[in-house]
Amino acid sequence: MRRRILAGALLAILGTGALFCAITLRRGRKTSAVFPNGVRVTVEGITFGSNHVFTTDSAIVQTLRHILPAGLQQSLPKGYEREEHTVADEALVYLSAFDPTSRRYLSSTTWGRFLVLDEHGCVWPVNSLSGDYGAPAFCVSTVYLSAFPRRASSFILRAYMTGGPFVDLHVRNPVKGPFPKWTAEPLPARRTVGDLTFELRDIRARWSTNVPNSFTPSYAVFRNGADVTQEWRPIKNLRDATGNRAEVLSPYEDVWKVELKFLKTAKGSFSPGQIWRIPSVSVPEDGRTRVFNQSHSLSNIQVHLVALTGSGDFKFSNGIVVASSPWRAGMSSGESSSSSGSGGTIIGFVTKEPVLLASMVGLSSADDLLIRYRDATARVGEGVLRSEFEKQYRYVLPDLKPGSSVDLELIRQEPITVEFSIRPPSPPAIVTKP
């Protein structure tokens, strides 16, 4: 009996000691920074891959939760855990922001934006942030990094407060090499698909400080030797040997793979099966709406044409206009969208130009649908996508006059994707470091 009591006491002592060490080590490993207003932001953790499990427990605490008796487990700190799946491999950085004045954790509305900086001073854009987890006792916001420096041991995550200053956080790199070695091809390089030849001539770079660099392809397209470049436009994606895929990557990589997804412009030609044509559509006057309520199938896309508006302030609920007013001086274009628990969708917007509203099912990318229109002078125009909310798409139709008549066409694109392996543009000799 005495041996059991001694063993239990020893286990409790060891468990408490291990717990103390675990908490101490865990806190020591965390990176944090303090804003001028005293708010402390802390990197609570980082995961990489497509299946993510975040926990505030250290590895030792997780073990103790399994081996300690129930009574002793109550002495362990409360843990938070979150599981998430991403379509591709990404790094997820989990941040907390603690305000010592109010003695509480702040929500994700604290954050204005984020940037990533590498050891060369290059800036990488960050496009995605999730809401809060663990509120109200403990709030964690998640920053999604699909592309980031993967060769260095760490990188800087620059966190901006909404309307305020920023702090720099040193984040460990969760990706380990080795990485494959790619070979670059000389430019210009060509790819032929059927009777079309796509030529990549160069990648033009605009070098910047404190904002991401930009890279633009210089290209040409030929059909049976004839130049048809004006009929095509590319959507660019870059890849590097470390696994990054984005529009902006480090020019210090040896090789980029440049993926160009070519789509036709409004000047291109299409087969009749790709086009849904609505002839002689009158452009509404200021504050007015033309309701279509028509549906059509374009390949695997189900299109429901809702309405065409003039300029003004409009509100639609489930495809029905519930409010409208003319454009007035001092208005600024914009949109607000919401959905109710009953499944209703409300879209409100202010526009200075005519707007086409459509709902679509089966559209994997908004680029796969082209909106084209022709007026009485045979002038050809192209709709510009302004927003998408719950499969409701809003296109602006520039340079159309109220009362004019146009032939409206919704066209299912058939993109062609080609890839080239090239050396990145050489960065300037002097680069400003963060």
One DSSP character per residue, 315-378 reads: EEETTEEEEEE---TT---EEEEEE-TTS-EEEEEEESS-EEEEEEES-S-GGGEEEEEEETT-
Query: What mean pLDDT is predicted for residues 86-112?
Result: 92
Per-residue pLDDT band at 71 (split at 50, 70, 90): low
pLDDT at 76: 59
Composition of the chain by helix, strand, coil, percent to 5: 10, 50, 35
Question: Average per-residue pLDDT in the chain?
Answer: 87
**91 has pLDDT over 90:** yes
DSSP 8-state code for residue 268 = S
Residue given tokens 């008796």 in the structure block: 69
DSSP 8-state code for residue 50 = E
CA distance 74 to 71: 6
Query: What mean pLDDT is predicted for residues 48-54?
Result: 93
Helices (H) and strands (E) in the chain, counts: 3, 31
CA distance 269 to 343: 39
Query: What mean pLDDT is predicted for residues 137-166?
Result: 92
CA distance 48 to 196: 40
Higher pLDDT: 133 or 55? It is 55
CA distance 300 to 274: 11
**Structural contact between residues 327 and 268, judged by C-beta atoms closer than 8 angstroms:** no
Which residue intervals of 85-240 are DSSP H helices? none
Q: What angle do CA 192, 194, 198 make, to 5 degrees?
A: 30
**260 has pLDDT over 60:** yes
**26 has pLDDT over 50:** no
**First-to-last C-alpha distance (Å) of the chain:** 65
* DSSP per residue, 86-99: EEEEEEEEEEEEEE
Per-residue pLDDT band at 283 (split at 50, 70, 90): very high
**Structural contact between residues 309 and 357, judged by C-beta atoms closer than 8 angstroms:** yes
Tell me: the pLDDT tens digits for 351-375? 999 999 999 999 988 899 999 999 8
pLDDT at 166: 95
Query: What mean pLDDT is predicted for residues 132-159?
Result: 88
**Structural contact between residues 200 and 217, judged by C-beta atoms closer than 8 angstroms:** yes
**268 has pLDDT over 80:** yes
**167 has pLDDT over 80:** yes
pLDDT at 62: 59
β-pair type (128-133, 140-145): antiparallel
**H-helix or E-strand containing 294?**
strand 289-298
**24 has pLDDT over 70:** no
| Residue 57, SS3 per DSSP | coil
**331 has pLDDT over 70:** yes
Strands (E), 207-309: 214-223, 226-227, 232-239, 245-246, 256-264, 275-282, 289-298, 301-309
Q: Which of 59-68, 108-117, 205-214 has the lowest mean pLDDT?
A: 59-68
DSSP 8-state code for residue 19 = H
Report the Cα 251 to chain-centroid distance in Å. 21
